Each structure stands twice: as C-alpha cells, then as structure tokens.
A and B are shown apart, each in its own frame.
Chain A
Amino acid sequence: MKIIILSIHIFFLFNIFLNSKEIIIADISDNKIDIDVGFKGAKLLFFGVIDNQGDIVVSVTGPRKAVKVRKKEKKMGLWINSDLKVFYDVPTYYYVASTKPLNELNADQALLVNQVGIKNIRFEGAEEKEEKERDFWKSGIINTMIKSKRYFSEEGYINISDKRLFKTELNFSAELTDGEYLVNTLLIKNGNVIAARRSFINVSKSGYGEKIYKMAMENSFLYGLMSVLFAMIFGFTVHETIRRVNA
C-alpha cells in the first residue's frame, strides 16, 4: 500500500517537474515527527527527481541551540570539571547522506560553505580561545554528540535510479530536540553546487509526553502538587494491598 501511494506521489512529482524549470524536486514521506511516550526513533523516506546528472547530498540539521560545555581534566589523580564554555548555534542533530562518500566528491570548498559533513558544521562561541584550542573544544562537542546519538558519524547512501529518480532513508534516533529540522538537498557537479532545495521536518512532543512536559513547564507548582499526590495515592494503595494480602 505504502509503495503504491509512493509511486503515485513520485508520478505526480515527475509531472510537476516536467512542467517546471526546477532542477531538483524532492519530498519526504512525512514532514512531521511526533515524540510520544513510546518513541524509539523514526525513519523517513526522502525522494525526488533531478534534471541534471550529478551527485546528490542531503543533510538534516536539527534546531540550533546554545550548549554549555564542560571540559574534564585530571588533577591529582581525580577527574574534575575544569573549564566551562558556552557555544551558540550548535545543531542538536546532524545526519548526512550522499550518492558518493563526501571525500570522493571533490567539492571540499562547496561542502564547507554549505556546512555539509560533520567536520564542516560551524558554531559560534568561545571566541576568546585560540583557534587550536577552540577546534579541540569543537571536536569534543561533536564526539559527545555522536556518542549521545545526536550526530551520525556514518554517512547514509542515496540511491539513484534511471539517472533522475533518487531516494534515501533519513534516520532519526530517539534523542530528538523538538523544533524545526532543516533538510538541505544539494546537487553537485564538477565540485560546484548547481542546484539546492530546502525542506523542513517538524519535530514535536505529542500525546502524554507533550501534556506532561507542557504542564511541568507552564503550571509548575500545580504539577509538583500533582506529582506528590500521585506518589502518595500510590504509596497508600501499595500499603493497603499488602496489608489485605497478608491478613
């Protein structure tokens, strides 16, 4: 069923494409992700048509946030937090897929300018640090993000069929910050970007998760009272049940 709908979708895209002057047309199987209590991550299908031959690179960038980073250092045999810095505009999520491995595209400059590839992500902050030390902090942040499954160190693969149709699967782990995710598609030929297209995926909390989060943030006092009440009812019920079972 899914495949039929998708085929119809691609067919329409193709029609639009024939009647327009766009070089890339692309769409996502779903442009929103709901984080509910049972959320385990998501996979979305990203597909489209290109007019010109070349390599396609798709990057997914999560909402950019400020992050507080602490460096651990060993002093007198103990690990302690030695330094604190704040960085700004750090993507909370990063995933990239391409038809060829990024280093075989021969487009290092274009990738750098467009912030494609984990090494090319830019963020602000800690300007007072010397470049070398700043890079050290930056790679520390990136490594931590990879370990916490927010950045993907491995690139995904984009499949091209009939030289014009492409599709790939976008991976999302359970570690998602809610907000707008930017999907940037680039068509690269001879080291240059010849076309680009942006799409967005909206990630939001939903269901019980969202209700609990909203209440905790907006009605925090009431939420606190409710949590206590809930725990007390629970504790009391347990006591009564145990007493009856034992009696």
Chain B
Amino acid sequence: MEIYLPIAEISQNIFFLLSIGFVAGILSGMFGVGGGFLTTPILILSGVPPAVAVGSEANHIVGSSLTGFLNYFRRKNVDLLMGGILLAGGVLGSASGVYLFRFLSLRGRIEEVISYTYILFLTAVGLYMLFESLKTRKKKKLGNLMKLHDHSWIHGLPLRIKFRRSKLYISVLPPILISYFVGILASIMGVGGGFILVPAMIYLLGMSTQVVIWTSLMQVLFVSITSTIMHAYVNQTVDIILSSLLLFGGVFGVQMGALIVQKISGEVLRMLLGIIIICLCLFLISELIIDPNSFFIVDILK
C-alpha cells in the first residue's frame, strides 16, 4: 500500500515505513538512543530526499525519545544538573547545525557530508563500544575489583562541579563542548545524537550506564525539538506524514526494547549496540564502493 508524502513529494510503502519505525523503537527502548542513526540512512537509500529524511527524522525522534524519557523518569535515574548543562550545549549546537546544513545543501555537498560523517562516527563509536565491552567482560570474569571510572586529562580541567547522581567531580567544559558538538551533528545527520552522547558520557566523562540512558534521552528530546522547529523554519523539510508513520511503527518497538533491557547486563547491551553500529557502517561503506545504478543525481529545483 503506497502513501504520498507531501513534503518529500514521493510515494512510499506504508508497511515499509512502519517497520523501520518498529526497529528504531526497539533500539530506543533498549539503548536510550532515538534510533535516528539507523532510520535516516535507510530512508535516504529508499529514495526520500536527504534533506527531508533528516528533517522528518528529527520530528520522529521527538516522539520516540519522549516515550523513553517518561519510562525512565519513573525509575529516578536522573542527573538533573548534568542533564541541564548538556541541554544548554545541545540546543545551541543543534541551532547552529541547521544553518550549516543549509549552507552545505546550497553548495550541493550535503549528501556526501551526511554519508561521510555517518561512516566516520559509526566506525569510531561502534568499534570503541565493542572492544570496551569485551574488555569489561574479561575483567569481570577474572573477578578484578573495578574502579568507578578511569581518571584522564579530562578530569583535570578547571571549573569543576560536583555531580551527585553521577558520582562525578569534573569541569563543566567537557559536557558543554561535547553536547554542543553532538547538537551540530544531530542537525546534520538527522539523529538525536544519543548514539554519540551515550558512549561519550560513559567513556569520556565516566558516568554509569544507568544514569546515562535517562540523561541522554533528555538531551535527545530537547535537541530534536530544537532541530525539528529549525529544520521546518529554515529548510521546510519536515514531512509530518512520514514522521507520524515512523512514530506509529515505533510504539510496539519501544515497549519490546524496554523489556529486553531488563534481562540483559550493561556490557552485553553495549556490545550489541556496537555490533549493530558496525553492521550499518559496513553497509554504508559498501554503498560508496559498489557501482551506483545511476551515475547522475538529479534534483528538481522549486
């Protein structure tokens, strides 16, 4: 069954869109990521104009991350101070990202930039998570006592603040910079940024996985709200029919993901996410190497 998407100006199969939403929903329930890093490239490959895929995906993430956010809210795994700081950086970053997006699409470079940033970040994050989780697994088996987190140069920066929930005493600079940067990426890649933020908070800041998921969902929620409004306002690329279908498909996925997460331990979870990310990355790389079915890309201008 086909449905016409008024902003993307193409027809797409309803069940195809619903099932992408479902898979993204499972991911967001399990890992506290919006699932955008998976949805956006699939939408683009299926023929949705990249700009519309990115804008509509931001809107989809608003809904899916709110569901996840409320689910975790009841469990009180909240670091409001850290969340607030990340939020400020993220909102600023996402607003600047939308203008960068416009600049790049006017120069006809946005598809390449989207594709390369995806490959770069997915490889880095995926590999890091995979190796780290394997290492933790090994350590656990040996029965070593683990430190709360490793201390690095990041913990030596000035302007230190105590984050009680996260059991951290670090400078405010790294969280602000990281979230600003993630905000920019969120706008360009059409993601909430959870898949970068989650590992960054765990490994760079040293927060615990439980606190991270909620804090990340909060950041993702507000960043995607900013990014949706900005994309709609600056680029007119938010397709509400497209994002509603993705949301609808996600309803059952989120619930399923939240059930799975209660049965699996932290490092297995991280390993799984790492594997998913690397598979997607290999797929994107293959797209760059295999001969395209058309050597020209034609965009009809308004």
On chain B, the residues within 8 Å of A66 by CB distance are 300-301
A-B contact count (CB 8 A): 174
Interface-located stretch among A13-21, A97-105, A232-240: A232-240
Whether, in the assembled complex, B275 has its beta carbon less than 8 Å from a beta carbon of chain A, the answer is: no
User: Residue B295 contacts which of A72, A145, A205 (CB distance < 8 angstroms)?
Assistant: A72
- Which single member of B60, B228, B254, B292 contacts A79 (CB below 8 Å)? B292
B150 sits at the interface (CB 8 A): no
Q: Find the residue from B66, B111, B244, B298 having the highest chain A CB count within 10 A.
A: B298
Chain A residues near B3 (CB-CB < 8 A): 37-38
Q: Does A199 contact B (CB under 8 A)?
A: no
Contacts of A132 on B, CB cut-off 8 Å?
Answer: none
In the complex, chain A residues whose CB is within 8 Å of the CB of B250:
238
User: CB of B189 within 8 A of chain A?
Assistant: no
Q: Which residues on the B side are within 8 Å of A212 (C-beta)?
A: 6-7, 240-241
Q: What residue in chain B is nearest A233 (Cβ atoms)?
A: B63
A234 contact set on B, CB distance < 8 A = 63, 244, 247-248
Within 8 A of B (CB), among A194-245: 205, 208-210, 212-213, 216-217, 220-221, 223-228, 230-232, 234-236, 238-239, 242
Query: Nearest Cβ in chain A — how far from B289, in angstroms?
Result: 6
Check: B123 CB closer than 8 A to any chain A CB: no
**B65:A235 contact, CB within 8 angstroms:** yes
A228 touches B296 (CB 8 A): no
What's the Cα separation between A205 and B112 when bound, in Å?
31
- A227-B238, A227-B243 known; A235-B300 Cβ under 8 A: no
Given the known interface contacts A68-B301, A147-B293, the answer about A221 and B232 at a Cβ–Cβ threshold of 8 Å is yes
- A40-B2, A224-B232, A224-B238 known; A144+B243 contact, CB < 8 A: no
How does the 8 Å CB contact mask read for B48-80 relative to A, with 1 for contact and 0 for none? 000000000001101111110011000000000
Do A231 and B297 touch across chains, with their CB atoms under 8 A apart? no
**Is the contact region of chain B dominated by helix, strand, or loop, or is it mixed?**
helix
| Of A43-51, A52-60, A135-143, A157-165, the one with at least 4 CB within 8 A of chain B | A135-143
A227–B61 Cα distance when bound, in Å, is: 11
Contact A84 B108 (CB under 8 A): yes
Q: Tell me if A143 and B296 are in contact (CB < 8 A).
A: yes
Whether A231 pairs with B229 at a CB distance below 8 angstroms is no
B-side contacts of A69, CB under 8 Å? 296-299
- 1/0 per residue, CB under 8 A from B, across A76-89: the answer is 01111100101000
Question: Which residues from A are CB-within-8-Å of B247?
Answer: 231, 234-235
Give every chain B residue within 8 A of A39 (Cβ-Cβ). 4, 11
Using CB atoms, name the residue of chain B closest to A138.
B296
Contact of A78 among B243, B254, B288, B302 (CB under 8 A): B288
| Most B Cβ at <10 Å: residue of A40, A81, A213, A235 | A235
Which chain A residues border B70 with CB–CB below 8 Å?
235-236, 239
Q: Which residues of A contact B294 (CB under 8 A)?
A: 72, 140, 143-144, 147
Bound-state CA distance A189–B288 (Å) is 51
A177 touches B300 (CB 8 A): yes
- Of all chain B residues, the one with the shortest Cβ separation from A225 is B229
* In-complex Cβ contact of A239 among B67, B111, B236, B292 (8 A): B67
Q: Looking at the complex, which one of B7, B67, B108, B292 makes contact with A235 (CB distance below 8 Å)?
A: B67
Shortest distance in angstroms between A224's beta carbon and chain B's nearest beta carbon?
3
A77 to B71, CA, bound (A): 46
The complex places the Cα of A142 from the Cα of B247 at a distance, in Å, of: 36
Return the contact of B7 from the options A175, A208, A213 (Cβ within 8 A). Answer: A213
B255 touches A235 (CB 8 A): no
Q: Which residues of B contact A134 (CB under 8 A)?
A: none
Return the chain B residue nearest A212 by Cβ: B6
**Contact yes or no, B228 A227, CB < 8 A:** yes
10 tightest A-B CB contacts, nearest first: A224-B232, A235-B66, A231-B63, A140-B296, A224-B229, A235-B63, A231-B62, A209-B6, A174-B11, A239-B70
Interface residues of B (CB under 8 A from A): 2-4, 6-7, 9-11, 59-60, 62-67, 70-71, 108-109, 111-112, 225, 228-234, 236, 238, 240-241, 243-244, 247-248, 250-251, 254-255, 288-289, 291-302
Other than the known A231-B62, A239-B70, what 11 A-B pairs have Cβ atoms closer than 8 Å? A66-B300, A69-B298, A140-B295, A141-B298, A144-B297, A174-B10, A212-B7, A223-B232, A227-B240, A239-B66, A242-B67
30 A–B contact pairs at CB < 8 A? Answer: A38-B3, A38-B4, A40-B2, A72-B295, A77-B289, A78-B288, A80-B112, A90-B300, A144-B298, A147-B293, A174-B4, A177-B300, A208-B6, A213-B6, A220-B234, A223-B238, A228-B59, A228-B225, A228-B229, A234-B244, A234-B248, A235-B66, A235-B70, A235-B247, A236-B67, A238-B63, A239-B67, A239-B70, A239-B71, A242-B67
